[in-house]
Amino acid sequence: MITGKNYIGNQLSAQGNITFKTFNPLLNIENQWYITEASQNEVNKAAELAAEAFKTYATISGVKKAQFLRAIADEIEALGDELLEVYSSESGLPNGRAMGERGRTLGQLRAFASHVEEGNWVDASIDTSQPERTPFPKVDLRKINVPLGPVVVFGASNFPFAFSTAGGDTAAALAAGCPVLVKSHPMHAATGEMVSSAVIKAAEKTGMPNGVFSNLNSSGIEVGKQLVRHPMVKGVGFTGSIRGGRALYDLAAKREEPIPVFAEMGSVNPVILLPKALNNRAESIAQTYAGSITLGTGQFCTNPGLILAIKSQGLTNFVNMLADEIIKFDPSCMLHPNIEGAYESNKSKMLSQHGLKVLAVYENDVKANHARQAVATVEGATFLNNPTLHHEVFGPFSLVVQCESEQQLEDIISNLDGQLTGTMISDDNEIVNYSNLVSALQNRVGRIIFNGVPTGVEVCPSMLHGGPYPASTDSRFTAVGVNSIKRFVRPFSFQDWPNDLLPEELKNDNPLNIVRNVNGNLTTKKIV
């Protein structure tokens, strides 16, 4: 049952006076539930509970954290079809996507469970003492990752499961040992409440301290600001717009004690089409990319919004084929009227730029909140000189930039903002002749792809989801995969600490049998 209340720790709570409703974009009507915004008092109480919970949760064993994370996954599964229905009613995303995203979310939670259960992630490092060393004896030093403290997680509009309530950021923070305060996304607050109920149930079943998780609602920005400013909050995870992410970053940087903000923000994910590939298979590339541009109504942060190539007959063929292919797709529903409205407005702004030529726009009538996909093209020099053309149009849109020369193409790549991904489309090994383009692209992105599409973010340890600003606010971390836990930990050293009082991971006899760096060597051996 959806109550519309906040979870302040284990308790449902609705002290505030403001309510709002979520929206069903497919039916183009408001959903039935009244969601109550969290009051300042509730925000404070949640933060205080989190700080109190941190005192015990920070040192709970990996095995127990794994039980908690797996229980969350199980409880989400136990919510069954009703959860999928609420998800779809608040996002317009179809049942298949709901199932797929739920599976990914469960997989993430279970992957983090295995990660902290195995235990190598703490990066245990031990340098034993040398009492006889001259001129000074060497002390015993042992280092391990410890959690930062309570973390605020902002739900993302486009991933109600995988990047929201119990999504990647929450799983990473909980795995690290950090209590989580979720600021639920106002577009899918009921989905958020259901998932929160699963987290709370799991916390209770596995004996986690009250306050290890809270879920706070609001339709505006005030609750999020209160959370990020709260002195007991020690870190922030965010997925969304550059404007939103930067605002949170600025807020956190202005605190008396600045805290780290990992915001995964905008990206146009440039795709470079090399000449031979265009010459030999322009049509199949166009077909593949028409699919990637429209996938999920273009509502992925890895959507290919920018395609770059040197002018040639192959490029002309590609452009024509892309125009033909893109309008073959049936328009699909966007997440919310506001997102569809922003798409139309950003698309119009883009298409009205000087020198921009429309290649294709879907022009038939569409249902409410359905997006009309579009592709356009522009000369390299025009692109270089107009920053507006570099901006992301969130939705099924892509811009093809036709360059005069390889040098111009390199200049364009070098002048791009930071991006999540960059893709090289190459025939056989023609890419070896374009190492300058590859270097330039590598310098602007977090992940580079050979002959593929940027959409589809594999969840695995070798994934890097992030990149130079504004792709993310701190390119030194990933938002996807188990290594994203590193955003929420700090290394900590024990000097000459009694063996009995050390964390298990650092004890002489290595009871958890983890891999440790002992005097410079990676080993699972005991210290004798």
Residues 124-143 that bind a second copy (CB under 8 A): 125-127, 136, 138-139, 141-143
- Please give the angle made by the CA atoms of 97, 27 and 186, to the nearest 5 degrees: 70
Q: Does 476 bind a second copy (CB under 8 A)?
A: yes
Sign of CA dihedral 272, 276, 278, 283: negative
Residues 172-211 that bind a second copy (CB under 8 A): none
| Binder among 40, 348, 439, 513 for a second copy (CB under 8 A) | 439
Q: How far is the CB of 491 from a second copy (least distance, A)?
A: 5
Which of 69, 234, 244 has the alpha carbon at shortest distance from 155? 244
| Binder among 179, 192, 244, 260 for a second copy (CB under 8 A) | 260
| Binder among 13, 197, 419, 473 for a second copy (CB under 8 A) | 473
Beta pairing class for 516-518 and 521-523: antiparallel
Q: Does 35 bind a second copy (CB under 8 A)?
A: no
Q: How many CB atoms lie within 10 A of CB 160?
A: 32
| Binder among 207, 220, 231, 258 for a second copy (CB under 8 A) | 258
Q: Site map for a second copy, 323-342, x if CB under 8 A?
A: --------------------
Q: How many helices (H) and strands (E) does the chain have?
A: 14, 23
Radius of gyration of the chain (CA): 25
Q: Does 85 bind a second copy (CB under 8 A)?
A: no
Q: Does 358 bind a second copy (CB under 8 A)?
A: no
Is 519:127 a contact under the CB 8 Å cutoff? yes
Helix (H, G, I), strand (E, B) or coil at 492: strand
Find the part of the chain contacting a second copy (CB under 8 A) among 22-30, 122-130, 215-223, 343-351: 122-130
Q: Does 357 bind a second copy (CB under 8 A)?
A: no
Whole-angstrom distance, CA of residue 356 vs CA of residue 312: 19
Find the part of the chain contacting a second copy (CB under 8 A) among 34-42, 83-91, 162-170, 455-463: 455-463
Fill in the DSSP letter of residue 472. Answer: B
Cα 19 to chain centroid, rounded? 28
Residues 408-427 that bind a second copy (CB under 8 A): 418
Count the residues of the shown chain that bind a second copy, applying the rule CB under 8 A: 72
Q: Does 433 bind a second copy (CB under 8 A)?
A: no
Q: How many CB atoms lie within 10 A of CB 127?
A: 16
Q: Which residues contact 213 (CB under 8 A, 6 or more apart)?
A: 7, 9, 170, 174, 179, 180, 182, 196, 199, 200, 203
Q: Does 497 bind a second copy (CB under 8 A)?
A: yes
Whole-angstrom distance, CA of residue 450 vs CA of residue 234: 38
Identify the active-site residue in 178, 301, 333, 403: 301
> Residue 498, preceding bond cis, omega within 30 degrees?
no
Helix (H, G, I), strand (E, B) or coil at 324: helix
Q: Does 478 bind a second copy (CB under 8 A)?
A: yes
Q: Does 448 bind a second copy (CB under 8 A)?
A: yes
Q: Which residue, chain included where needed, has tokens 């273009």? A: 298
460 is catalytic: no
Q: How far is the CB of 328 from a second copy (least distance, A)?
A: 22
Q: Which residue, chain included where needed, has tokens 């008092």? A: 41
Identify the active-site residue in 42, 101, 264, 392: 264
Q: Measured from the CB atom, is 127 or 406 closer to a second copy?
A: 127
178 is catalytic: no
Q: Site map for a second copy, 147-176, x if CB under 8 A?
A: -xx---------------------------
Residues 38-67 that bind a second copy (CB under 8 A): 55, 59
Q: Measured from the CB atom, is 343 or 477 closer to a second copy?
A: 477
Q: What residues are annotated to the active site?
A: 264, 301
